[in-house]
């Protein structure tokens, strides 16, 4: 991954935040925005994971309440060489998942009920491995911070509409305020999406190596992308700044890579995984430890190749 590029993009997001502050209040407004941005980052560092999980109504599960899911996450975390993350379930029919947390020691993986119901054990393993890859790459903190700053920029732009319309008070004027209200959130979205898209391919590759089978993840991506077109995620619709955290855009599918896509196109991601599978003869060497074993479904349901 290009961490330098990501740092530049994150700096651009902070600069945009300061720019909106400057349009509202001049140099003092820019400085206030910088202080607010720093405070937002500190707040997001400690609280963003709880905020996002609460926003989506996620509830924590353990070996007693969701034994199969918890066991699968445990096995993959061991395989990835990671501490065991907390496991959450969101009561949502759209199959999807995300990871959050400020570091691998304080990470969480959240999956929807739709994901558990519609995917095979192998596909679910691919999805969880992808999310663990984000944790391993320390992407989760970056994703939650960018979501928080992007949301703050939108709110600040709305604030400027009410207090920046008077040129006599060093505001941008009514036309400038309207332009700021429209363009600032778009600019924040573009930077946010660029950051997200630099992470997804790397997480796909690492996830494939963690689970050992690139085509498990490829199959899961195709299934989730198809369902995302048909099943709305109302929580995500109300908080679009968090859409980039999910493995597949919960708001809408994308036909091709473009500036406004929250993720690379699913077709391109699948093609990359197919290429990886072809190079490895279909399977990859374990990331750290031998492949985990154990049933996914109880009561005589189908067992995957790990069982």
Question: Would you please indicate which residues are annotated as catalytic (active-site) residues?
Answer: 131
136 and 80 in contact (C-beta within 8 Å)?
yes
State which H helix or E strand residue 118 sits in.
Answer: helix 113-118
Give the relative orientation of helices 67-80 and 121-136 as an angle to the nearest 10 degrees: 50
CA dist 223 and 69 (Å) reads 19
Distance (Å, rounded) from C-alpha 112 to C-alpha 95? 6
Phi, psi of 61 (to 5 degrees): -125, 160
Please, which residues have CB within 8 angstroms of residue 218's CB and are 6 or more apart in sequence? 126, 269, 270, 273, 274, 277
Alpha carbons 49 and 203: distance in angstroms, whole number: 19
Distant-in-sequence, close-in-space partners of 3: CB < 8 Å, separation ≥ 6: none
């Amino acid at each position: 991954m290009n961490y330098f590029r990501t740092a530049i993009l994150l700096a651009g997001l902070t600069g945009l935040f300061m720019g909106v502050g400057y349009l509202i209040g001049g140099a003092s407004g820019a400085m206030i925005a910088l202080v607010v941005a720093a405070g937002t980052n500190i707040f997001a560092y400690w609280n963003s994971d709880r905020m996002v999980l609460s926003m989506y109504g996620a509830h924590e599960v353990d070996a007693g309440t969701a034994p199969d899911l918890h066991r699968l996450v445990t096995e993959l975390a061991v395989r990835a060489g990671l501490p065991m993350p907390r496991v959450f379930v969101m009561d949502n029919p759209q199959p999807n998942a995300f990871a959050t947390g400020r570091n691998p020691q304080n990470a969480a993986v959240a999956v929807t009920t739709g994901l558990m119901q519609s995917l095979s054990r192998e596909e679910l393993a691919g999805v969880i491995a992808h999310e663990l890859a984000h944790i391993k790459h320390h992407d989760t903190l970056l994703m939650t911070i960018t979501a928080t700053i992007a949301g703050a920029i939108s709110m600040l732009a709305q604030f400027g509409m009410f207090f920046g319309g008077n040129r006599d008070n060093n505001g941008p004027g009514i036309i400038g305020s309207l332009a700021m209200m429209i363009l600032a959130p778009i600019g924040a979205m573009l930077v946010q999406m660029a950051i997200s898209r630099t992470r997804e391919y790397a997480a796909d590759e690492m996830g494939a190596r963690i689970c050992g089978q690139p085509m498990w993840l490829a199959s899961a991506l195709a299934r989730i992308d198809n369902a995302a077109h048909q099943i709305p995620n109302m929580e995500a619709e109300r908080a679009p700044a968090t859409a980039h955290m999910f493995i597949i855009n919960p708001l809408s599918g994308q036909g091709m890579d473009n500036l406004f896509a929250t993720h690379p196109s699913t077709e391109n991601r699948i093609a990359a995984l197919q290429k990886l599978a072809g190079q490895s003869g279909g399977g990859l060497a374990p990331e750290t430890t031998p492949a985990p074993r154990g049933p996914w479904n109880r009561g005589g349901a189908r067992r995957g190749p790990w069982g």
